[in-house]
A = this chain, B = another copy of it.
């Protein structure tokens, strides 16, 4: 008998098939037994009817517990009342392994307990839906860059010799007698690659050893970082807008079932259409003052301020041209107001806050060298980075998109810890 996956069951109506999975739920109603089986691609209701209580199917049914592994065989029928629209008329139940006292029950569990059982919690239907959407978002990003925009993927190294943004929040390791650090960003490497391939991106894990415990922070998170030669600030902002619209539309198109399972407000996602809201840092400060924040020009726009800004608008908000002193050494100054950097952040709406940070990069050798010295960075370690300004320097720009924050926003999950399969949190590295 053919082993099929539940997601394909519609092709087998009227046929005998085998499903291999786990017990999601079961119940009896008089002479009928209902067994809900999940196989990772869906859930199917399988039913058995008998006048006699003592028969092999009922005996196997009775043995099964929540999350026991099981193989079921039967005829596929259309059944509007069943979840998914199909039902399996059972001809055989083969228990594989009986789970005893599965720790996650339908009752409420604390997050600490669930996190300690992350390896099992991943099976819960809400967690399955989040991971399917995470996958769809990653796939959408790659399709957008690979196919729509013809970028070249250039994997950035994780083990790096020098710090991009200070060493206090870096994980350090010994590299055969030298110190090495886990990368916080592949950007500098992408700048080199953009001079070779024009349009490039990296997509990998990045690390921040930050002692913070907020709903937006992970020690290990995934980031996609496009970098484009000959792009100016406005070009890269336009690219970021197009990419975000593409991702959201793709999820709406292909993962509506999962969004509904998560009770996500679809309507607010449907509003994520270009153009997004664009305000300068100057305007953002004025706006925040009106909202009652005690701020002045030059202050950082922190998490609380981001939440307020991103709740004010229905679409993502792009804040551009931050004070140069707030931003990284490599950012191109605004030629009209050199105290500003040609930088931008994109804030997701509904209070989710920053998902993207980007900028135009300094292309002048002397200015970059001056900035490296002002920031007391090790010049030797940046020699190769300076080379990029010596040998065919061009204006170029890029940005980084944080995957987990994007997943949190699109799925409507409040804390990033549920948006990555095995989150790395402060003091928490198990399982």
Contacts and interface: CB of A to CB of B under 8 A. Distances in A.
Given A387-B119, A394-B96, A192 B67 contact: no
A91 interface: no
Interface stretch (A77-85, A169-177, A274-282, A311-319): A169-177
5 contacts: A40-B200, A67-B392, A158-B182, A172-B173, A204-B204
A229 B157 contact: no
A287 interface: no
Contacts of A199: 40-41
A7 interface: yes
A119 B192 contact: yes
A153 B137 CA distance: 11
Given A41-B150, A150-B7, A429-B178, A393 B192 contact: no
B172 A421 contact: no
B152 A20 contact: no
A158 B220 contact: yes
Given A39-B198, A384-B430, A390-B100, A421 B220 contact: no
Interface of A: 3, 5, 7, 20-23, 39-41, 67-69, 96-97, 99-100, 102-103, 117-120, 122-123, 127-128, 131-132, 134-135, 138-139, 142, 146, 150, 152-161, 171-178, 180, 182, 189, 192-200, 204-205, 207, 209, 211, 219-220, 222, 229-230, 363, 381, 384-385, 387-394, 420-422, 424, 426-427, 429-431
A156 B424 CA distance: 11
A139 B203 CA distance: 13
Given A7-B150, A41-B150, A131 B195 contact: no
Contacts of A393: 69, 96-97
Contacts of A96: 392-394
Contacts of A173: 171-173, 182
